[in-house]
Amino acid sequence: MAYNCTPIWRWTTCTVNVENRQRSAGWWLVLCILSSSVLSAQLDSTFVETFGERSRINGGIRYRDNSAVFSVNDREELTLTNRGLALRIGGRYRWIGYTFSIPISDLGTGSELGDAKSLGANIQFYRNTFYLNANVRRTIGFERDSPDRAPEFREDIRFLNALLFGFRILNSKRFSLRSSFRLRNRQLRSAGSWLVGGAVARQVIKADSLELPLREAGTSVIDRFSQTKIGTGVGYAYTFIFGKYWFATPLLIAGPEIRFIAFDPLGTEREVERLRLSARVRGRISVGANGIRNYIALSASYLPSADNSDAFDTRVDEVQIELRIGHRIGVKD
Protein backbone atom coordinates (compact mmCIF):
# COMPACT_ATOMS: atom_id res chain seq x y z
CA MET A 1 0.00 0.00 0.00
CA ALA A 2 1.40 3.43 -0.87
CA TYR A 3 0.40 6.93 0.24
CA ASN A 4 1.33 9.60 -2.30
CA CYS A 5 1.49 13.30 -1.47
CA THR A 6 1.12 15.89 -4.26
CA PRO A 7 3.65 18.75 -4.14
CA ILE A 8 2.14 21.98 -2.74
CA TRP A 9 4.20 25.19 -2.90
CA ARG A 10 7.50 24.31 -1.24
CA TRP A 11 6.42 20.88 -0.02
CA THR A 12 8.26 17.94 -1.48
CA THR A 13 6.66 14.82 -2.90
CA CYS A 14 6.64 11.97 -0.38
CA THR A 15 5.78 8.30 -0.52
CA VAL A 16 4.95 6.14 2.49
CA ASN A 17 5.39 2.40 2.01
CA VAL A 18 3.66 0.37 4.70
CA GLU A 19 5.08 -3.01 5.67
CA ASN A 20 2.94 -6.13 5.23
CA ARG A 21 2.63 -6.64 8.97
CA GLN A 22 1.17 -3.21 9.59
CA ARG A 23 -0.91 -3.29 6.43
CA SER A 24 -2.66 -6.53 7.46
CA ALA A 25 -3.34 -5.22 10.96
CA GLY A 26 -4.67 -1.94 9.54
CA TRP A 27 -7.14 -3.62 7.20
CA TRP A 28 -8.25 -5.95 9.98
CA LEU A 29 -8.95 -2.97 12.25
CA VAL A 30 -10.90 -1.11 9.56
CA LEU A 31 -13.03 -4.14 8.65
CA CYS A 32 -13.86 -4.89 12.29
CA ILE A 33 -14.98 -1.33 12.96
CA LEU A 34 -16.88 -0.79 9.71
CA SER A 35 -18.71 -4.09 10.13
CA SER A 36 -20.63 -2.43 12.96
CA SER A 37 -22.59 -0.39 10.42
CA VAL A 38 -24.34 -3.58 9.34
CA LEU A 39 -25.62 -4.06 12.88
CA SER A 40 -26.55 -0.41 13.43
CA ALA A 41 -29.92 0.41 14.95
CA GLN A 42 -32.08 3.53 14.92
CA LEU A 43 -31.21 6.19 17.46
CA ASP A 44 -33.55 6.56 20.41
CA SER A 45 -35.18 9.94 19.76
CA THR A 46 -35.77 10.49 23.48
CA PHE A 47 -31.97 10.52 23.98
CA VAL A 48 -30.60 11.84 20.66
CA GLU A 49 -32.03 14.43 18.27
CA THR A 50 -30.93 14.17 14.62
CA PHE A 51 -30.93 16.89 11.97
CA GLY A 52 -30.61 14.74 8.84
CA GLU A 53 -28.88 16.44 5.92
CA ARG A 54 -29.58 19.98 7.09
CA SER A 55 -27.29 22.65 5.66
CA ARG A 56 -24.91 24.34 8.08
CA ILE A 57 -21.89 26.61 8.31
CA ASN A 58 -19.13 26.33 10.89
CA GLY A 59 -15.71 27.70 11.71
CA GLY A 60 -13.10 27.61 14.40
CA ILE A 61 -9.45 27.25 15.33
CA ARG A 62 -7.38 24.07 15.64
CA TYR A 63 -4.11 23.66 17.56
CA ARG A 64 -1.89 20.68 16.79
CA ASP A 65 1.27 19.49 18.57
CA ASN A 66 3.25 16.48 17.31
CA SER A 67 6.56 15.84 19.05
CA ALA A 68 9.13 13.06 19.31
CA VAL A 69 11.98 12.77 21.83
CA PHE A 70 14.87 10.29 21.73
CA SER A 71 16.68 10.10 25.08
CA VAL A 72 18.86 7.97 27.37
CA ASN A 73 18.70 8.00 31.18
CA ASP A 74 16.19 10.86 31.20
CA ARG A 75 18.59 13.10 29.23
CA GLU A 76 17.17 14.50 25.98
CA GLU A 77 19.41 13.82 23.02
CA LEU A 78 17.20 14.58 20.04
CA THR A 79 13.92 16.50 20.07
CA LEU A 80 11.65 16.76 17.03
CA THR A 81 8.75 19.17 17.37
CA ASN A 82 6.05 20.30 14.96
CA ARG A 83 3.24 22.55 16.16
CA GLY A 84 0.69 24.56 14.25
CA LEU A 85 -2.36 26.79 14.57
CA ALA A 86 -4.93 26.87 11.78
CA LEU A 87 -8.20 28.63 11.01
CA ARG A 88 -10.91 26.23 9.88
CA ILE A 89 -13.96 27.14 7.79
CA GLY A 90 -16.52 24.57 6.69
CA GLY A 91 -20.12 23.64 6.25
CA ARG A 92 -22.60 21.37 4.55
CA TYR A 93 -25.01 21.77 1.64
CA ARG A 94 -27.42 18.90 1.05
CA TRP A 95 -25.19 15.78 1.18
CA ILE A 96 -21.88 17.55 0.50
CA GLY A 97 -19.68 18.51 3.45
CA TYR A 98 -16.52 20.60 3.18
CA THR A 99 -13.78 22.06 5.39
CA PHE A 100 -10.93 24.44 4.56
CA SER A 101 -7.91 24.73 6.86
CA ILE A 102 -5.79 27.90 6.64
CA PRO A 103 -2.44 27.83 8.53
CA ILE A 104 -1.95 30.80 10.86
CA SER A 105 1.29 30.12 12.73
CA ASP A 106 3.92 27.44 13.42
CA LEU A 107 4.00 28.74 17.04
CA GLY A 108 7.73 29.19 17.07
CA THR A 109 8.72 25.67 16.03
CA GLY A 110 10.50 26.94 12.95
CA SER A 111 14.29 27.11 13.21
CA GLU A 112 16.41 30.23 12.68
CA LEU A 113 19.06 27.94 11.19
CA GLY A 114 16.89 26.53 8.41
CA ASP A 115 13.39 25.92 7.09
CA ALA A 116 11.52 22.71 7.82
CA LYS A 117 8.95 21.20 5.48
CA SER A 118 5.88 19.36 6.68
CA LEU A 119 2.98 17.70 4.92
CA GLY A 120 0.16 15.78 6.55
CA ALA A 121 -3.33 14.42 6.14
CA ASN A 122 -5.97 13.66 8.76
CA ILE A 123 -9.27 11.89 8.03
CA GLN A 124 -11.90 11.26 10.71
CA PHE A 125 -15.20 9.38 10.51
CA TYR A 126 -17.78 10.01 13.24
CA ARG A 127 -20.65 7.60 12.63
CA ASN A 128 -23.48 6.50 14.91
CA THR A 129 -21.87 3.13 15.57
CA PHE A 130 -18.12 3.75 15.18
CA TYR A 131 -15.25 6.24 15.12
CA LEU A 132 -12.24 5.94 12.78
CA ASN A 133 -9.21 8.23 12.47
CA ALA A 134 -6.39 7.97 9.89
CA ASN A 135 -3.52 10.40 10.41
CA VAL A 136 -0.25 10.67 8.43
CA ARG A 137 2.41 13.39 8.73
CA ARG A 138 5.89 13.65 7.20
CA THR A 139 8.35 16.33 8.30
CA ILE A 140 11.71 17.09 6.69
CA GLY A 141 14.38 19.14 8.49
CA PHE A 142 14.86 19.53 12.25
CA GLU A 143 16.97 21.50 14.62
CA ARG A 144 19.06 19.10 16.68
CA ASP A 145 19.72 20.18 20.24
CA SER A 146 21.93 18.13 22.58
CA PRO A 147 23.83 19.04 25.78
CA ASP A 148 27.34 18.57 24.37
CA ARG A 149 27.13 20.57 21.14
CA ALA A 150 25.76 23.78 19.64
CA PRO A 151 22.31 23.62 18.00
CA GLU A 152 22.39 22.73 14.31
CA PHE A 153 19.75 22.43 11.62
CA ARG A 154 19.69 19.04 9.90
CA GLU A 155 17.74 19.11 6.66
CA ASP A 156 18.59 15.44 6.06
CA ILE A 157 16.43 14.25 8.99
CA ARG A 158 13.01 12.95 7.88
CA PHE A 159 10.31 11.90 10.32
CA LEU A 160 7.15 9.94 9.44
CA ASN A 161 4.33 9.45 11.92
CA ALA A 162 1.23 7.48 10.88
CA LEU A 163 -1.72 6.37 13.00
CA LEU A 164 -4.90 4.40 12.38
CA PHE A 165 -7.17 4.49 15.43
CA GLY A 166 -10.81 3.55 15.89
CA PHE A 167 -13.46 1.90 18.05
CA ARG A 168 -17.04 0.63 18.03
CA ILE A 169 -19.75 2.32 20.10
CA LEU A 170 -21.78 -0.44 21.75
CA ASN A 171 -24.66 1.70 23.05
CA SER A 172 -25.25 3.54 19.79
CA LYS A 173 -29.01 3.81 20.34
CA ARG A 174 -28.79 6.21 23.28
CA PHE A 175 -25.27 7.63 23.09
CA SER A 176 -24.05 9.84 20.23
CA LEU A 177 -20.34 10.60 19.88
CA ARG A 178 -21.18 12.84 16.92
CA SER A 179 -23.23 15.10 19.20
CA SER A 180 -20.19 16.03 21.28
CA PHE A 181 -17.21 15.96 18.91
CA ARG A 182 -18.82 16.93 15.58
CA LEU A 183 -22.16 18.38 16.75
CA ARG A 184 -24.02 16.64 13.92
CA ASN A 185 -26.70 15.43 16.36
CA ARG A 186 -27.84 16.69 19.77
CA GLN A 187 -27.69 14.61 22.96
CA LEU A 188 -30.89 15.30 24.93
CA ARG A 189 -30.33 13.17 28.04
CA SER A 190 -27.19 11.99 29.83
CA ALA A 191 -25.95 8.62 28.56
CA GLY A 192 -22.77 6.63 28.03
CA SER A 193 -21.38 3.67 26.14
CA TRP A 194 -18.64 1.07 26.31
CA LEU A 195 -16.09 1.25 23.50
CA VAL A 196 -14.10 -1.57 21.87
CA GLY A 197 -11.35 -0.75 19.43
CA GLY A 198 -7.70 -0.71 18.52
CA ALA A 199 -4.85 1.18 16.91
CA VAL A 200 -2.01 0.64 14.45
CA ALA A 201 0.88 3.15 14.52
CA ARG A 202 4.06 3.52 12.50
CA GLN A 203 6.99 5.87 13.20
CA VAL A 204 10.11 6.12 11.05
CA ILE A 205 13.06 8.50 11.34
CA LYS A 206 15.71 8.63 8.60
CA ALA A 207 18.93 10.62 8.19
CA ASP A 208 22.21 10.52 6.32
CA SER A 209 23.76 9.75 9.70
CA LEU A 210 22.50 10.28 13.22
CA GLU A 211 24.62 9.75 16.32
CA LEU A 212 22.71 8.55 19.37
CA PRO A 213 24.04 7.40 22.75
CA LEU A 214 23.49 3.80 23.77
CA ARG A 215 21.97 2.83 27.10
CA GLU A 216 24.97 0.78 28.21
CA ALA A 217 27.96 2.81 26.94
CA GLY A 218 29.28 4.62 23.91
CA THR A 219 27.31 5.81 20.89
CA SER A 220 25.81 4.38 17.71
CA VAL A 221 25.53 6.03 14.31
CA ILE A 222 22.31 5.07 12.54
CA ASP A 223 20.56 6.14 9.36
CA ARG A 224 17.11 4.70 10.13
CA PHE A 225 14.94 3.95 13.16
CA SER A 226 11.43 2.49 12.97
CA GLN A 227 8.75 1.03 15.17
CA THR A 228 5.37 -0.49 14.42
CA LYS A 229 2.78 -0.67 17.20
CA ILE A 230 -0.42 -2.72 17.20
CA GLY A 231 -2.84 -2.45 20.10
CA THR A 232 -6.35 -3.13 21.24
CA GLY A 233 -8.40 -1.65 24.03
CA VAL A 234 -11.65 -1.20 25.92
CA GLY A 235 -12.95 2.14 27.08
CA TYR A 236 -15.94 4.17 28.15
CA ALA A 237 -17.46 7.51 27.15
CA TYR A 238 -20.23 9.43 28.89
CA THR A 239 -22.08 12.64 28.04
CA PHE A 240 -23.26 14.75 30.97
CA ILE A 241 -26.15 17.09 30.10
CA PHE A 242 -26.47 20.32 32.10
CA GLY A 243 -29.65 22.30 31.64
CA LYS A 244 -31.05 22.35 28.13
CA TYR A 245 -27.97 22.84 25.96
CA TRP A 246 -24.70 22.41 27.89
CA PHE A 247 -22.75 19.15 27.80
CA ALA A 248 -19.43 17.55 28.76
CA THR A 249 -18.14 14.28 27.26
CA PRO A 250 -14.98 12.61 28.60
CA LEU A 251 -13.67 9.51 26.82
CA LEU A 252 -10.93 7.09 27.86
CA ILE A 253 -9.74 3.90 26.19
CA ALA A 254 -6.88 1.64 27.37
CA GLY A 255 -5.40 -1.73 26.54
CA PRO A 256 -2.28 -3.75 25.66
CA GLU A 257 0.02 -2.91 22.78
CA ILE A 258 2.79 -4.88 21.08
CA ARG A 259 5.76 -3.14 19.43
CA PHE A 260 8.21 -4.14 16.69
CA ILE A 261 11.39 -2.02 16.84
CA ALA A 262 14.29 -1.91 14.35
CA PHE A 263 17.18 0.43 13.58
CA ASP A 264 19.93 0.47 10.96
CA PRO A 265 23.48 1.14 12.17
CA LEU A 266 25.39 2.96 9.44
CA GLY A 267 27.13 0.51 7.09
CA THR A 268 25.79 -2.67 8.73
CA GLU A 269 22.67 -4.81 8.60
CA ARG A 270 19.42 -3.91 10.33
CA GLU A 271 19.12 -4.77 14.01
CA VAL A 272 15.67 -5.99 15.08
CA GLU A 273 14.96 -5.91 18.79
CA ARG A 274 12.78 -8.37 20.61
CA LEU A 275 8.99 -8.09 20.64
CA ARG A 276 7.76 -5.78 23.41
CA LEU A 277 4.43 -5.53 25.23
CA SER A 278 3.15 -2.48 27.12
CA ALA A 279 -0.04 -0.72 28.19
CA ARG A 280 -1.40 2.27 26.30
CA VAL A 281 -3.99 4.90 27.30
CA ARG A 282 -5.74 7.39 25.00
CA GLY A 283 -8.14 10.15 26.01
CA ARG A 284 -10.49 12.72 24.52
CA ILE A 285 -12.87 15.32 25.94
CA SER A 286 -15.40 17.79 24.59
CA VAL A 287 -17.37 20.52 26.40
CA GLY A 288 -19.77 23.11 25.03
CA ALA A 289 -23.33 24.12 24.23
CA ASN A 290 -25.36 22.41 21.50
CA GLY A 291 -28.56 24.25 20.70
CA ILE A 292 -31.15 23.61 18.05
CA ARG A 293 -29.74 26.21 15.64
CA ASN A 294 -26.37 27.30 17.07
CA TYR A 295 -23.55 25.39 18.74
CA ILE A 296 -20.08 25.88 20.21
CA ALA A 297 -17.65 23.29 21.59
CA LEU A 298 -14.05 22.97 22.74
CA SER A 299 -12.59 19.50 22.21
CA ALA A 300 -9.18 17.99 22.92
CA SER A 301 -7.45 14.68 22.25
CA TYR A 302 -4.23 13.29 23.72
CA LEU A 303 -2.49 10.25 22.24
CA PRO A 304 0.76 9.63 24.17
CA SER A 305 3.33 6.97 23.36
CA ALA A 306 6.40 6.25 25.55
CA ASP A 307 8.62 3.31 24.61
CA ASN A 308 11.81 1.85 26.10
CA SER A 309 14.17 -0.11 23.88
CA ASP A 310 17.49 -1.80 24.58
CA ALA A 311 19.35 1.12 22.99
CA PHE A 312 17.38 4.26 24.00
CA ASP A 313 13.97 5.65 24.94
CA THR A 314 11.48 7.25 22.57
CA ARG A 315 8.40 9.33 23.30
CA VAL A 316 5.86 10.48 20.69
CA ASP A 317 2.96 12.72 21.72
CA GLU A 318 0.00 13.84 19.64
CA VAL A 319 -2.14 16.65 21.05
CA GLN A 320 -5.01 18.38 19.29
CA ILE A 321 -7.30 21.11 20.59
CA GLU A 322 -10.13 22.56 18.51
CA LEU A 323 -12.71 25.31 19.01
CA ARG A 324 -15.76 24.79 16.81
CA ILE A 325 -18.60 27.30 16.29
CA GLY A 326 -21.51 26.66 13.92
CA HIS A 327 -25.03 27.46 12.76
CA ARG A 328 -27.67 25.10 11.29
CA ILE A 329 -29.61 26.59 8.42
CA GLY A 330 -33.35 26.09 8.06
CA VAL A 331 -33.93 24.65 11.53
CA LYS A 332 -36.80 26.10 13.55
CA ASP A 333 -36.47 26.74 17.29
Domain membership flag for residue 101: yes
* In the predicted structure, residue 5 carries a pLDDT above the cut 50: no
CA-to-CA distance for 258 and 270, rounded, in angstroms? 20
Task: Provide CB contacts within 8 A for 227, sequence distance 6+.
Answer: 202, 203, 259, 260, 261, 262, 307, 314
Share of the chain above pLDDT 90, in %: 23
233 burial level (CB within 10 Å; 0-12, 13-18, 19+): buried
Domain that holds residue 135: 2-328
Domain membership flag for residue 197: yes
208-228 per-position pLDDT tens digit: 877 766 666 566 777 888 888
61-96 per-position pLDDT tens digit: 989 887 777 776 655 566 766 677 889 888 777 666
Number of domains in the chain: 1
Domain membership flag for residue 333: no
Domain membership flag for residue 164: yes
Model confidence band, residue 104 (pLDDT cutoffs 50, 70, 90): confident
- CATH code where residue 85 lies: 2.40.128
